[in-house]
A and B are shown apart, each in its own frame.
Chain A
Amino acid sequence: MSLTPLLTALQNSGVAVAIRNSLYYFPMLEAIHVIALGLVFGTIMIVDLRMLGIAGTQRSYVRISSDVLRWTWGAFGLAVLTGALMFTTNARVYVDNTFFRIKFALMALAGLNMLVFQLTLARTAEEWGEAGKAPPRARIAATLSLLLWLAVIFMGRSVGFTTTGQAAKLSAPPPNVDFNSFLESSSSSSAPPASSAQP
């Protein structure tokens, strides 16, 4: 079974074409992706540091995780959405990219680590959640989680360097609306609010 027809259809889709033809959409998606993955990493770190007994030890694990993890999931959803939209623009290249493949393998491992933790140790969190440190197995899960997500960030950043070269940037089509025309229209004619304010 080959994915090529599907990937080709994806990168020829209206959404993919629209993103490619805009000078603004891709940088915007990248920025939102950074915000989303930053929140995923930052909020997961709050929970992991609590398990490791490094920060937030005055609150129980249960309190912290119920406070924080819904934001992690919201941010993760946003990262998936922006990531998927960026993926459509060059689907066949991304699928073949080594860093991209490693990134998804690492995310699968991070997901598995989380799943095992949630199905086992997290179920008894009421018992150990007040203690300064979580049990050793939970601390291993927390360490793995931190390392895996850091590696995911590194792989993700490397995808950008290995899939969009200088040539791709130079051949980017001109924007439909640009700041030059905006600046010219506001400087050549007097600004409407100012002129209308004059008697």
Chain B
Amino acid sequence: MSVLKSVHDWVQNTPPSLLLQRNEAWFIPTMQSIHIAAIGVVLACVLMMTLRVLGVCGADRSVLQTQERFGPWLTGALWLLLATGLLIILCEPRALVTFSFWLKMALVAIGALVAWLFRRSVRAHAESWDATLVRRRPVKAMAVIALVIWVAIIFLGRFIAYDQIWGRLSPSAVAGASQ
């Protein structure tokens, strides 16, 4: 816990952070707006790929064609999220001492891994994805789970500002109680 706090304190006193803090009034809302727009791109891309696997949307396109349409936009949006996320943390490092943030990071890693595995599998087995895989229940379940992971990530992202809802699980609550 104290490690997180010291990292937080160190980041907060670095020159780039101090520079951004002086411009916080417009910088944070602007970065968060770009972050939210990129979240929209991620969510729409994951939704479209999930719905294709479920057979609800884009039935005229193969699974590979669907992945090739939305995969690169998903990747691009994730890089944009990383960049804006880092800048937000640099300006306002309080997220580093929240439970929501670290749980969110774990889920982002899982979500990105699932998307990467999906891309790899679709490229290697394009024909069996269309012929058999999309009809299998575990595959459909996995597509839904991937979407749920991104939805959970958005919840956790918003909860960073309300980390007290986790009670003692929140490192800042623990730090506050010990002081």
Residues of A at under 8 Å CB distance from B?
23-24, 26-28, 30-31, 34-35, 37-43, 45-46, 55-56, 58-59, 63, 67-68, 71, 150, 153-154, 157-158, 161, 175, 178-180, 182-183
Min CB gap B25→A, angstroms = 8
- Check B165 against A42 for contact (C-beta < 8 Å): no
- Check B158 against A179 for contact (C-beta < 8 Å): no
- Check B44 against A42 for contact (C-beta < 8 Å): yes
Which chain B residues lie closer than 8 Å to A157 at the CB level? Answer: 29, 32-33, 36
| C-alpha spacing A179/B169, complex, angstroms | 8
Give the residue of B37, B42, B65, B168 whose beta carbon is less than 8 angstroms from that of A180.
B168
> What are the 9 tightest A-B residue pairs by CB atom distance, in nearest-first order?
A42-B44, A179-B167, A38-B40, A41-B40, A42-B40, A180-B167, A31-B158, A154-B33, A27-B162
Give the residue of B36, B37, B57 whose beta carbon is less than 8 angstroms from that of A67.
B57
Residue of A nearest to B166 (CB): A179
Segment 58-99 of B: residues with Cβ below 8 Å from A: 58, 60-61, 65, 69, 73
Residue of A nearest to B72 (CB): A55
Q: Is residue B144 contacting chain A, with contact meaning CB distance below 8 A?
A: no
Residue of A nearest to B60 (CB): A63
Which chain B residues lie closer than 8 Å to A56 at the CB level? Answer: 69
Size band of the interface chain B makes with A = 35 or more
Which chain A residues lie closer than 8 Å to B102 at the CB level? Answer: none
- Other A-B pairs beyond A34-B154, A38-B40, A38-B43, 20, CB < 8 Å: A23-B162, A39-B43, A41-B37, A41-B41, A42-B41, A42-B45, A43-B44, A43-B47, A55-B73, A58-B65, A67-B58, A68-B57, A71-B47, A154-B30, A157-B32, A157-B33, A161-B29, A179-B166, A180-B167, A183-B169
- Check B36 against A37 for contact (C-beta < 8 Å): yes
Residue of B nearest to A24 (CB): B165
Segment 129-162 of B: residues with Cβ below 8 Å from A: 151, 154-155, 157-159, 161-162
- Check A59 against B33 for contact (C-beta < 8 Å): no
Min CB gap A76→B, angstroms = 13
Residue of B nearest to A30 (CB): B158
Which chain A residues lie closer than 8 Å to B165 at the CB level? Answer: 23-24, 27, 175, 178-179
| C-alpha spacing A83/B166, complex, angstroms | 24
Min CB gap B51→A, angstroms = 8
- Check B48 against A31 for contact (C-beta < 8 Å): no
Min CB gap A164→B, angstroms = 10
Given contacts A43-B44, A58-B65, contact A34 B39 (CB under 8 A): yes
- Check A42 against B43 for contact (C-beta < 8 Å): yes
Q: Is residue B21 contacting chain A, with contact meaning CB distance below 8 A?
A: no
Most buried by B among A153, A161, A182: A153
Q: Is residue B28 contacting chain A, with contact meaning CB distance below 8 A?
A: yes
Min CB gap B155→A, angstroms = 4
| C-alpha spacing A26/B57, complex, angstroms | 33
6 residue pairs of the A-B complex, CB under 8 angstroms, read A41-B41, A67-B58, A157-B33, A179-B168, A180-B168, A183-B167
- Check A31 against B167 for contact (C-beta < 8 Å): no
Give the residue of B44, B61, B159, B161 whose beta carbon is less than 8 angstroms from that of A46.
B44
| C-alpha spacing A37/B73, complex, angstroms | 18
Which chain A residues lie closer than 8 Å to B48 at the CB level? Answer: 46, 68
- Check A38 against B44 for contact (C-beta < 8 Å): yes
